[in-house]
Structure 1
Amino acid sequence: MAILITGSTGYIGSKLTAKLALQGHQVHLLCRTSPTLPHFQKPNIKVFIGDITDAESIRPALENVDRVYHLAAYARLWAKDASVFHRFNVKGTENVLNEAKRSGVSKVVYTSTAGVIGPSNDKPMTETDPRITGFFNLYEETKSQAEAVAMDYAKQGLNICILNPSRIYGPGLDTGSNPVTKIVELYMKEKWKLIPGSGNDIGSYPYIDDVVDGHISAMEKGRSGERYILGGVNVTFNELMSAIKKYSGIEKKLRHIPFPVLNAVSHLMLWNAKITGKYPMITPDWVAKYKYDWALNSSKAVNELGYTIRPFEEGIKETVEWVKQNRL
């Protein structure tokens, strides 16, 4: 029996595809266009042209499939047509799960985001802690709605668990879902010159290989109807930049930009995006998020899935070396 992956051309999906194929699994990929990635050109990888927003196009990819990883989503902060968030993240997820249930698959792993769980206050957030703010953007909101869809299917008997990865970094495709790696690259090219606000805001930074392994473990061990945070080490933005400086060997002064300034710039970029359609570098939603801490507690995934968290400096060092070899 084969494994179906949606979102295989994304940051996590491409790494997951490569690893499962290397392990000898038959892998089906649902793609809107034929992927050109060289590691997809293997005899045990079969590409099906389809779209998660078109339920009928999903069916051929599910033939002889026993397990499904659903990663496909619209994972950006802005779209000229705001309805794209609901169409891909909510309706697309409903289509995938409905077709998976109809075809009788044994297990689904759905990749959500830690953005759904929200910012932290006096302690790292767990899967069951109530959110302390509203949603900052349509991506978070629609992914939360998609989680509700997944939970409904779990109640109907579909074996499905949910994963909530946070600010992933490490080697891999530049898809927009790995901004930390992009910051490493821009800093080493001397194009990253700022720190938002004080830089003391906390984020949770998991290494990409740990997240991929967490997906594979979740397929084997994840309990139906449960969520699992795939976070990393909780560090400040200042600590992130210090590690990048240390392992790149590049010492460059960075300017702390006050949030009111960033907010004003982001509104100008958003205004320009609405007129030209050019994707904004930052948005008011992005600025608002960095005013909070986003510390996470991944102990549930560690205890139940055997999830591992790479030491932060080790991961940054490996990322810097990869950027040197592949991006500079």
Structure 2
Amino acid sequence: MWLVTGATGHVGNVLVRKLLERGEQVRALILPGESRESIHGLNVEAAEGDVLNLDSVFESMQGIKGIFHLAGVISIMPGPNAFVRKVNVDGTKNILRAAQEMNIRKLVYTSSIHAIQRVEDGVIDESVPYDMKNPYGAYDRSKAEATLEVLNAAQTGLEAVVACPTGVIGPYDFRGSMMGAVIHDAATAKPALYVDGAYDFVDVRDVADGLISAAENGKRGESYILSGQKISIRYLLETVREITGKHFFQMKIPFDLARFAAIFTPMYYRFANATPRFTPYSLEVLQSNSNISHAKATRELGYSPRTLYESIKDTVKWILEKKK
């Protein structure tokens, strides 16, 4: 049996589906009161618990052969965030402590491309170090710190590997990620505001396949980038329009104007308890170097991501069917 933390998230629920398709048994660590919509109807053993509660972590690992650790908090808001660090770092430390004491055979940690040091030019691959002092956001720093904890545990004998996805899109996005919301609005012909910019996006199903392959073929203490294809936001919107055949209002916001507005939007959205599209962090990502290589994952894991056109098409189909 595999333990999956963060099983109700976007990557998590797709990973669960992939494991079940392979005939694996799955136990999902789920926060008390957390929505289970994304895994409803799946043959999963649900274990209520919290990665911050060491007792529940130990309990969830009874009788398992390996762990996919995905539980974490994502944030694109500026400034320090103690809760993000607590969940992402301290929660990972709890997982590692329990895995080591219980002699778990395999641990696959889902990190992030944003944990890796920013590189202005050239190719970003696994030779670029993780950056605990990343100036761009608390999320990036917390993922880097947690990743280094996993790699340190691997050096002392834990069979642990790390996977670093880029921007994840795809079907089964029940909670509505930031890019998922962009695709949703375009698919339902809502007006779209966008800025010049591009990033590397990858299909959630390819990430899940990559995680499973990392468990089977990954080498202890190694990291694997799970990237896809670099596309612009404008291309993404135009692709959705082509797929649906629906025209919708699009307006490109001058980047300097978006940067100025992003100074103020985080304060508004904190009061509104919502996630903004434009923050200093999200704008920086869209302007950053996204020449990202998955050559190592292809070579060692057999990783082969699909085209983003296929991914966007399947995402639109899932969104529209879900609305029926």
Shared fold per TM-score greater than 0.5:
yes
Q: Does 1:268 align with 2:264?
A: yes
Match of 1:77 in 2: 76
Contact 1:119–1:294 (CA<8 Å) still a contact in 2?
no
Match of 1:152 in 2: 152
Give the letter for the 2:81 counterpart: A
Match of 2:31 in 1: 32
Give distance in 1, aligned partners of 2:45 and 2:78: 31
Q: Does 1:254 align with 2:267?
A: no
Match of 1:52 in 2: 51
Choose which of 273, 278, 283 in structure 2 pairs with 1:278.
273
Give distance in 1, aligned partners of 2:259 and 2:172: 30
Match of 1:98 in 2: 97
1:190-210 superposed Cα distances (whole Å, 9 cap, x missing partner): 3342221xx2x3311111111
Give the letter for the 1:255 counterpart: M
Larger mean CA deviation between 94-103 and 282-291 belongs to 282-291
Choose which of 191, 206, 215 in structure 2 pairs with 1:219.
215
Match of 1:136 in 2: 136
How far did residue 49 of structure 1 move? Answer: 1.4
1:32-59 superposed Cα distances (whole Å, 9 cap, x missing partner): 126533745455x222211101111111
Choose which of 291, 294, 297 in structure 2 pairs with 1:298.
294
1:223-272 superposed Cα distances (whole Å, 9 cap, x missing partner): 11111111101222232222222212123452221223222322222223
Give distance in 1, aligned partners of 2:307 and 2:251: 27
Unpaired runs of 5+ residues, structure 2, are none
Task: Percent identity, please.
Answer: 26
Contact 1:206–1:233 (CA<8 Å) still a contact in 2?
yes
Give the letter for the 1:278 counterpart: N
Contact 2:173–2:180 (CA<8 Å) still a contact in 1?
no
Give distance in 2, aligned partners of 1:302 and 1:103: 32
How far did residue 189 of structure 1 move? Answer: 2.5
Match of 1:15 in 2: 14
Match of 1:206 in 2: 202
Q: Provide closer, same or farther for how the CA distance between residues 193 and 283 of structure 1 changes in structure 2, counting only shifts above 3 A.
A: same
1:4-26 superposed Cα distances (whole Å, 9 cap, x missing partner): 11000100111111221233222
How far did residue 130 of structure 1 move? Answer: 5.1
Q: Provide closer, same or farther for how the CA distance between residues 186 and 273 of structure 1 changes in structure 2, counting only shifts above 3 A.
A: closer
Give the letter for the 1:142 counterpart: S
Query: Cα RMSD between the aligned structures?
Result: 2.4
Larger mean CA deviation between 85-94 and 130-139 belongs to 130-139
How far did residue 277 of structure 1 move? Answer: 5.9
Q: Provide closer, same or farther for how the CA distance between residues 118 and 192 of structure 1 changes in structure 2, counting only shifts above 3 A.
A: farther
How far did residue 280 of structure 1 move? Answer: 4.0
Match of 1:4 in 2: 3
Q: Does 1:229 align with 2:228?
A: no
Unpaired runs of 5+ residues, structure 1, are none
Contact 1:120–1:296 (CA<8 Å) still a contact in 2?
no
Larger mean CA deviation between 161-170 and 233-242 belongs to 233-242
SS of corresponding position for 1:139: helix
Contact 2:2–2:67 (CA<8 Å) still a contact in 1?
yes
SS of corresponding position for 1:310: coil
Contact 2:37–2:174 (CA<8 Å) still a contact in 1?
no
Match of 1:319 in 2: 315
1:158-217 superposed Cα distances (whole Å, 9 cap, x missing partner): 0101000011111113335x3333211101223342221xx2x33111111111111111
Give distance in 2, aligned partners of 1:190 and 1:150: 43
TM-score (ref. length: structure 1): 0.90
SS of corresponding position for 1:318: helix
Q: Provide closer, same or farther for how the CA distance between residues 248 and 37 of structure 1 changes in structure 2, counting only shifts above 3 A.
A: same
